[in-house]
């Protein structure tokens, strides 16, 4: 596929990085020559220097025969303008824009074909914020992902000593929880994936991914991790875009303190937050942390733009007695270095936010994509089209499928009322009209089911996608 990416910032580069490996022709446009040079050194793609909202630059970037435009520059205006130009002058079929300002969401008609012509808009900061907010709700979890409008959740939990399932084979989960239908999709032991089978034993320290209806998630987690005290006090270090949005979202439910170094930004935060207490200072200043009772904090979130600062302040907070610490870390190397060791949860913002973008790029019919373990693994929601003749999955039992080793089917989302003939199965599911079928070896896949698949290694994703394509050699 020919793809034009506008903006080579954090989001732009990680999108490029993810797509380049999937056999796409990629051109990246940015005004910063150095940034582009660095990207070109690392990845096999073309770069164009210039203003992304100018028609000549877009033509130079090959917009004329591009199939997809991803406008992820820092500026909403540039992104909107580029989408409109791409639609009017170059007929680019699919246009995705990053929109930060929240008020665009209030007027969806602005984004339709007659106006800015944006097919999908994403707001990475909002996605990361929602993600962290979910983690706060489930403090025991390392990761919480939702499918089908929040009906099904996939959680990662670190198995802790003394919890009911530790030291037991997976097959016992049914005996422990006779009324709850849940499935363990993957286990990582010392960072190595283990394919879960009925006889696999769970050990202390395992990272276990389980899938269940969202209402049952807490019960399932309790089997693997002793229940923590609910979170009450939260300290956020860094009041940037993510810190601010998060504080806004949670300030009424928890007691929130926000530390921000920049004085003007601190004043801005203080005037826009109603409940949270804003502190001006350095999050790595132990005097400040001590005065603000870091030892009473249930959660310490380091959300600045600076990886080193986030790591240091988290380490400091943990040593001074914060119960859980979470750091935003952009660099892979750092993230792998600190996770599970001293910092409870490391989050890579780019990996989280590009999942929804990837869903639009992938071939086959992908409804949702979530990156797991900082991009190493993936959870996909794929739509099974066709019938027993044209499809390799429809009408078959799960154990009959030719799934690559390392891919596990977790659950099926099935419409309560079957689609009328000719209806499009890819339209997003609404939570009212679906039921969740947790996958077992004898479950049969029906046409238009949405299948949630856990893939332990991203390299396997194309194979899985090919399995779901309709007809042989159709693409």
Partner 1 sequence: MNRLAPVLHVFSLIMLLFSLTMLVPLALSWGLRDGAEEAYDEAFLLALGSGALLWLLTSRVKRELQAWDGFLLVALVWLVLPAMGAVPLYVFLPQVSWTDAYFEAVSGLTATGATVLSGLDTLPASINFWRHQLHWMGGLGVIVLAVAILPLLGIGGRQLFKAETPGPMKDSKLTPRIAETAKGLWFVYASLTFACLLAYHFAGMSWLDAIMHAFSTLALGGFSSVDASLGHFDSLAIELIAIFFALLAGMNFATHFLAWRQKSLRAYLFDGELPYYLLVLGASSLLIAWYIWLKGVYPDFFEALRHSAFHTVSVATSLGMVTQDYAQWPYFVPFWMLFLGSFAVCSGSTGGGIKMMRAIILYKQVFREFVRSIHPNAVYPVKLGRETLSTQILFAVLAFAFLYMVSIVSLTLILSATELDIITAFSAVVACLNNTGPGLGAVGPASNFGVLTDLQTWFCSFTMLLGRLEIFTLLVVMNFTFWKN
- Point out which residues bind partner 1 (CB under 8 A): 259-260, 263, 266-267, 269-271, 274, 277-281, 288, 291-292
User: Is the dihedral angle over the CA atoms 405, 148, 1, 422 positive or is it negative?
Assistant: positive
Q: Which is nearer to partner 1, 206 or 260 (CB)?
A: 260
Q: Which is nearer to partner 1, 157 or 266 (CB)?
A: 266
| Min dist. Cβ of residue 278 to partner 1 (A) | 5
Q: Which is nearer to partner 1, 56 or 271 (CB)?
A: 271
Q: Which is nearer to partner 1, 212 or 248 (CB)?
A: 248
Type and span of the H or E element at 315: helix 307-319
Q: Which is nearer to partner 1, 205 or 281 (CB)?
A: 281
- Residue 286 backbone phi and psi in degrees, to 5: -70, -25
Q: Which is nearer to partner 1, 263 or 435 (CB)?
A: 263
Q: Output the six-digit token pair for 411.
A: 């659950």
| Min dist. Cβ of residue 306 to partner 1 (A) | 19
Q: Output the six-digit token pair for 405.
A: 């080793």
| Min dist. Cβ of residue 260 to partner 1 (A) | 8
In the block, tokens 């990207």 appear at 39
Q: Which is nearer to partner 1, 49 or 288 (CB)?
A: 288
Least Cα distance to 306 among 263, 261, 344 occurs for 261
Q: Output the six-digit token pair for 69.
A: 């435009």
How many angstroms separate the CA atoms of 351 and 191, rounded?
A: 18
| Min dist. Cβ of residue 107 to partner 1 (A) | 20
| Min dist. Cβ of residue 288 to partner 1 (A) | 6
Type and span of the H or E element at 411: strand 407-415
**How many helices and strands in the chain, by DSSP H and E?**
14, 22
User: Is the dihedral angle over the CA atoms 412, 416, 422, 425 positive or is it negative?
Assistant: negative
How many angstroms separate the CA atoms of 12 and 30, rounded?
A: 10
Q: Output the six-digit token pair for 283.
A: 């999050």
How many angstroms separate the CA atoms of 160 and 349, rounded?
A: 27
Least Cα distance to 22 among 305, 272, 261, 357 occurs for 357
Q: Which is nearer to partner 1, 94 or 293 (CB)?
A: 293
| Min dist. Cβ of residue 272 to partner 1 (A) | 8
| Min dist. Cβ of residue 125 to partner 1 (A) | 22
Query: What is the DSSP secondary structure assignment for residue 201, as one 8-state letter?
Result: B
| Min dist. Cβ of residue 261 to partner 1 (A) | 11
């Amino acid at each position: 596929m020919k793809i034009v990416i506008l903006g080579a910032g954090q989001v732009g580069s990680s999108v490029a990085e993810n797509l380049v490996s999937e056999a796409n022709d990629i051109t990246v446009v940015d005004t910063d020559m150095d940034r582009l040079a660095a990207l070109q050194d690392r990845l096999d793609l073309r770069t164009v220097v210039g203003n992304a909202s100018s028609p000549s630059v877009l033509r130079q970037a090959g917009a004329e025969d591009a199939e997809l435009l991803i406008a992820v520059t820092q500026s909403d205006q540039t992104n909107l303008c580029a989408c409109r130009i791409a639609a009017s002058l170059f007929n680019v079929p699919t246009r995705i824009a990053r929109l930060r300002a929240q008020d665009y969401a209030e007027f969806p008609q602005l984004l339709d074909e007659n106006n800015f012509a944006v097919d999908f808009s994403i707001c990475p900061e909002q996605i990361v914020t929602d993600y962290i907010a979910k983690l706060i709700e489930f403090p025991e979890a390392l990761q919480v992902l939702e499918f089908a409008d929040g009906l099904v959740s996939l959680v990662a939990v670190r198995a802790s000593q003394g919890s009911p399932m530790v030291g037991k084979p997976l097959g016992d989960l049914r005996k422990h929880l006779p009324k709850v239908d849940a499935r363990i999709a993957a286990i990582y032991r010392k960072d190595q994936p283990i394919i879960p089978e009925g006889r696999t034993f769970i050990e202390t320290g395992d990272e276990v991914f389980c899938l269940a209806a969202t209402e049952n998630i807490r019960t399932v987690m309790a089997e693997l991790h002793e229940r923590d005290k609910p979170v009450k006090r939260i300290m956020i270090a860094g009041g940037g875009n993510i810190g601010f949005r998060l504080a806004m979202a949670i300030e009424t439910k928890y007691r929130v303190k926000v530390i921000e170094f920049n004085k003007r930004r601190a004043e801005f935060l203080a005037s826009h937050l109603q409940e949270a207490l804003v502190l001006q200072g350095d999050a790595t200043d132990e005097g400040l942390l001590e005065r603000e009772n870091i030892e009473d904090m249930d959660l310490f979130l380091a959300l600045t733009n600076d990886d080193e600062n986030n790591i240091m302040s988290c380490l400091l907070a943990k040593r001074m007695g914060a119960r859980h610490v979470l750091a935003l870390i952009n660099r892979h190397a750092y993230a792998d270095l600190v996770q599970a060791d001293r910092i409870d949860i490391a989050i890579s913002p780019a990996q989280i936010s590009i999942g929804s973008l990837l869903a639009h790029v992938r071939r086959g019919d992908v409804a949702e994509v979530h990156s797991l373990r900082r991009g190493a693994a993936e959870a996909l929601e794929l739509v099974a089209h066709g019938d027993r003749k044209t499809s390799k999955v429809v009408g078959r039992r799960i154990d009959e499928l030719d799934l690559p080793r390392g891919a596990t089917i977790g659950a099926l989302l099935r419409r309560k009322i079957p689609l009328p003939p000719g209806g499009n199965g890819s339209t997003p599911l609404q939570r009212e009209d679906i039921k969740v079928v947790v996958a077992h070896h004898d479950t049969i896949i029906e046409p238009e089911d949405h299948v949630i698949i856990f893939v332990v290694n991203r390299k396997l994703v194309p194979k899985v996608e090919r399995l779901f394509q309709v007809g042989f050699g159709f693409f």
